[in-house]
């Protein structure tokens, strides 16, 4: 049973619910098909292998690594190589790289493919000062000629789809010009986030910019920005005409967002929010994947932010916050999860769609600052 459509009122969602949309699976070429056309965004310090696998389990059509330094890959730096940590069950998976020199990015793309990438993506959207000050990320939006050179070099170097993830512009919306340069260079598709670099993470994504890019190019366009549930995905599709959507912070603690959007695109009832038991089972699988891949020590450190995201806006969040500093073993983690579940039993669980705090992406240092690699 899904949630009856009539119960999903405009009042609940803060606006009119767009009509149903249909999107077929997105074929990027080279045998890569996104089915459904819903993608997990690259996110720094978040989209490691365990989270990617959980999101694939929940219906993501493609998942992406966090952004990886092209120079680091070329020199086989342990940190860079470890970030391209691809395992069975993730495909199709996109490896996102960053850099500014065409020849380096072409070589890094080749290495990414050697390591198992189904798609190689160029980061042209990260707005962080330490990234753009080196000419990387969103800084590339100011050099359209270089953008075309980069995509020409990368697309000639590998036999997989080469894509790019960009913002609406640097300070103004130069997205159409940049998108045309990407297409001219051989990009198989592009993702556009509807905020400029100067906007950072403030305000709302400008869907009109995404629509203008879709109108201007012939390659597939993936819309990104403020997609956190099936309604916001409908809005993105309806307002922009995009071919797929990318979910970033909306997936944190809520991997079920992918099955929700996928069901809506298929014209099926929207799945019920996850029960406390399903949430617990999913989180325990997430923990087990972490332990399997990274061992107990690293898991105890990195899983903390995920615990808080899964229980954000519930009584269990308060319980978890008291236990975070004491997590030193896998058993500690499991006991913390059970304590969070017990705190929610017998109470109305405030899920991600109904609680005012839970509906907002994580912003505080306490819960882990998240910068999606855009």
Please give the positions annotated as active site.
Answer: 126
Q: Is the dihedral of CA 77, 252, 35, 280 positive or negative?
A: positive
Cβ-Cβ contacts under 8 Å for 204 (sequence gap 6 or more):
194, 225, 226
* Among 122, 206, 128, 211, residue whose Cα is nearest residue 165: 122
Number of alpha helices (DSSP H) and beta strands (DSSP E) in the chain: 14, 13
What is the bridge-based pairing of β-strands 38-40 and 26-29?
unpaired
* 158-to-90, 123, 186 alpha-carbon distances in Å: 20, 17, 11
**Torsion over CA of 297, 299, 305 and 307, rounded to 10 degrees?**
-120
* Among 276, 277, 282, 231, residue whose Cα is nearest residue 256: 282
- Whether the upstream peptide bond of residue 181 has omega within 30° of 0, thus cis, is no
**Torsion over CA of 361, 363, 364 and 370, rounded to 10 degrees?**
90
**Torsion over CA of 24, 117, 87 and 65, rounded to 10 degrees?**
-80
Residue 358 CA neighbour count, 13 Å, CB half: 20
CB neighbour class for 79 (10 Å; exposed up to 12, middle 13-18, buried from 19): exposed
Q: What are phi and psi of 234, to 5 degrees?
A: -60, -45
**With contact defined as beta carbons under 8 Å apart, do 222 and 192 qualify?**
yes
CA angle, 115 then 117 then 119, to 5°: 155
């Amino acid at each position: 049973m899904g949630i009856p459509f009539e119960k999903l009122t405009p009042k609940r969602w803060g606006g009119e619910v767009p009509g149903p949309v249909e999107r077929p699976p997105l074929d990027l070429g080279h045998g890569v098909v996104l089915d459904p056309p819903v993608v997990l965004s690259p996110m720094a310090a978040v989209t490691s292998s365990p989270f990617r696998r959980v999101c694939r389990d929940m219906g993501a059509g493609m998942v992406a690594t966090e952004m990886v330094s092209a120079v680091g890959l070329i020199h086989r730096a342990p940190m860079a190589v470890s970030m391209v940590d691809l395992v069975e069950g993730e495909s199709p998976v996109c490896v996102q790289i960053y850099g500014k020199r065409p020849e380096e990015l072409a070589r890094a793309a080749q290495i990414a493919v050697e390591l198992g990438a189904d798609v190689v993506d160029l980061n042209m959207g990260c707005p962080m000062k330490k990234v753009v000050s080196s000419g990387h990320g969103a800084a590339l939006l100011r050099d359209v000629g270089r953008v075309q050179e980069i995509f020409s070099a990368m697309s000639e170097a590998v036999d997989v789809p080469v894509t790019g993830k960009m913002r609406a512009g640097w300070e103004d919306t130069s997205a159409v010009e940049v998108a045309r340069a990407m297409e001219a260079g051989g990009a198989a598709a592009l993702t556009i986030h509807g905020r400029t670099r100067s906007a950072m993470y403030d305000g709302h994504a400008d869907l009109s910019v995404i629509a203008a890019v879709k109108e201007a190019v012939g390659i597939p366009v993936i819309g990104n920005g403020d997609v956190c549930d099936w309604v916001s995905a409908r809005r993105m599709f309806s307002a922009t005409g995009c071919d797929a959507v990318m979910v970033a912070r909306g997936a944190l603690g809520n991997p079920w967002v992918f099955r929700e959007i996928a069901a809506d695109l298929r014209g099926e009832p929207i799945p019920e929010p996850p029960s406390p038991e399903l949430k617990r089972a999913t989180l325990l699988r997430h923990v087990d994947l972490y332990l399997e891949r990274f061992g107990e020590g690293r898991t105890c450190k990195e899983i903390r932010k995920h615990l808080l995201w899964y229980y954000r806006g519930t009584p269990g969040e308060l319980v978890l916050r008291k236990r975070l500093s004491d997590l030193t073993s896998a058993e500690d983690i499991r006991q913390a999860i059970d304590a969070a579940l017990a705190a929610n039993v017998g109470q109305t669980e405030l899920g991600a769609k109904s609680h005012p705090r839970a509906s907002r992406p994580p912003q505080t240092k306490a819960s882990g600052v998240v910068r999606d690699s855009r």
